[in-house]
Amino acid sequence: MSRANLTGMATIRHSIVEHDVVVLRETVGSWPAGTTGTVVSLQGDALLVEIADDDGKTLDILPVPSDRLGIKGR
């Protein structure tokens, strides 16, 4: 498909779901942009994200609006 044919196409985004590894796009609470975590629950417009250390110990669980998250690796 030529570049000209791609102009009007919509971008398809993957919805964030439980167990996705996510990255904060901006600072949330005391956690800076770039911090990674795992979605543990969906809470309306926000997602509960677990921040853990390298040993898997939970450091924090915080509600984060989905527009402040990206899927790690994308």
pLDDT of 73 reads 76
The whole-number average pLDDT for the span 48-66 is 97
Looking at the domain assignment, is residue 8 inside a domain?
no
Beta-carbon count within 10 A of 46 CB: 15
The number of domains in the chain is 1
- Number of H-type helices and E-type strands within the chain: 1, 5
Enclosing domain of residue 65: 15-71
pLDDT tens digit sequence for 14-50: 689 999 999 999 999 999 999 999 999 998 889 999 9
Question: In the numeric block, which tokens belong to residue 55?
Answer: 């040993």
List the CATH number of the domain containing 49.
2.30.30.70
Say whether pTM exceeds 0.85: no
Is residue 19 domain-resident? yes
Residue 23, burial from CB neighbour count under 10 angstroms (0-12, 13-18, 19+)? middle
**For residue 52, is it within any domain?**
yes
